[in-house]
Chain A
Amino acid sequence: DAKTTQPNSMESNEEEPVHLPCNHSTISGTDYIHWYRQLPSQGPEYVIHGLTSNVNNRMASLAIAEDRKSSTLILHRATLRDAAVYYCILRDRDIGGSARQLTFGSGTQLTVLP
């Protein structure tokens, strides 16, 4: 799987938008961009994923650069409950005979300040 690069940590103020960047310059044409987050003392949870177009769901938005070499996870209004480690993961859409794994990096630790 292609590698991603994320900042180790970021801070945000409560009720303000948060933009979490992810670089993936070696992304292939068949890689989906997935985001998971891990709240303290919990297992990771799925946030959002996309291929080429920007995506929105109830949790967040995903903005994908036109060349797909970077993406940004957007939390429109951060709350204290959004404090977590956010992982950007590339996952090949080609399931073939064996599924592509989730390969987690170290992620970005988001701190939300009251």
Chain B
Amino acid sequence: EAGVAQSPRYKIIEKRQSVAFWCNPISGHATLYWYQQILGQGPKLLIQFQNNGVVDDSQLPKDRFSAERLKGVDSTLKIQPAKLEDSAVYLCASSTLPHYEQYFGPGTRLTVT
């Protein structure tokens, strides 16, 4: 079974630029999550989708971050404009149902200079 795929694996941008990350969850997984992990900390949930609907986006900085999951499969997370403090690893995870174990992708390491 293929795991959660993410791209790109690394991205370096200047502040005020925009960036987008892509996630392809495990086939059949209805629930998809985006996490932000700052160096030395545990992952922090940004947004949770159930199929193509948003379940929880309470910790998503909506003035600059946006996410979508069209057709309930792939998802994209966008940052526009980026700030220095957005430097982090962005992790995508999926699960069959919201309360089941989550499977994580390898993450995208973003550096904002």
Give residues of chain A (23-64) contacting chain B, Cβ–Cβ below 8 Å: 34, 41-46, 49
Q: For residue A87, which residue of chain B has the nearest CB?
A: B42
Cross-chain contact B104 with A44 (CB below 8 angstroms): yes
User: Interface 1/0s, chain B 43-70, versus A by CB < 8 A?
Assistant: 1110010100001100000000000000
Q: How far is the CA of A101 from the CA of B4 in the complex (A)?
A: 19
The docked-state distance in angstroms from the alpha carbon of A91 to that of B45 is 14
Q: Tell me whether A46 and B99 are in contact (CB under 8 A).
A: no
**Residue of chain B at shortest CB distance from A103:** B45
User: Quick check: is B101 within 8 A (CB to CB) of the other chain?
Assistant: yes
Residues of A within 8 A of B22 (CB): none
Chain B residues touching A, majority SS: loop
A93 to B99, CA, bound (A): 7
Docked pose: A85 CA to B37 CA in angstroms: 13
| Contact flags B66-88 to A (C-beta < 8 A → 1, else 0) | 00000000000000000000000
Question: A9 on the interface (CB 8 Å rule)?
Answer: no
Interface residue? A105 (CB, 8 A)? yes
Task: Return the contact of B98 from the options A34, A45, A87, A95 (Cβ within 8 A).
Answer: A95
List B residues at the A interface (Cβ < 8 Å). 4, 31, 40-45, 48, 50, 55-56, 91, 93, 97-99, 101-107
